[in-house]
Amino acid sequence: DIQMTQSPSSVSASVGDRVTIICQASQDISNYLNWYQHKPGTAPKLLIHDASNLEEGVPSRFSGSGSGTDFTFIINSLQPEDFATYYCQQYDSLPPPTFGQGTKVEI
């Protein structure tokens, strides 16, 4: 299985900050990577698909980039509603599609 390594595992930030999350795949996955936001007790939410495509209705302060093995997820100007755990997910090598271990964005 392809291993997805996210860093950092947690980040402390303030409203208005820029937050950067890195996801590294154990082998080349082209651009077959998605990003999700997950808040406790709620359904996960797809933010970005295919590495850099913003899901409809998702604010433009969220962005994704990268291909191959190295991917970056950025939140510009962090808002109060953005405090959550973020996951990358690869789907190049199946099954299974694998998730990173998550990055908790907290105050």
Residues that bind other proteins (CB under 8 A): 32, 34, 36, 38, 41-46, 49-50, 55, 87, 89, 91, 94-102
Q: Are strands 4-7 and 103-106 parallel, antiparallel or unpaired?
A: unpaired
- Smallest Cα–Cα separation from 32: which of 74, 72, 90, 71? 90
Distance, in Å, from the CA atom of 35 to the CA atom of 73, rounded to the nearest integer, reads 8
Q: What minimum distance in Å lies between the beta carbon of 96 and other proteins?
A: 5
Taking the complex as a whole, the smallest distance from the CB of residue 16 to other proteins amounts, in Å, to 28
In the bound state with other proteins, the residue whose beta carbon lies nearer, of 5 and 72, is: 5
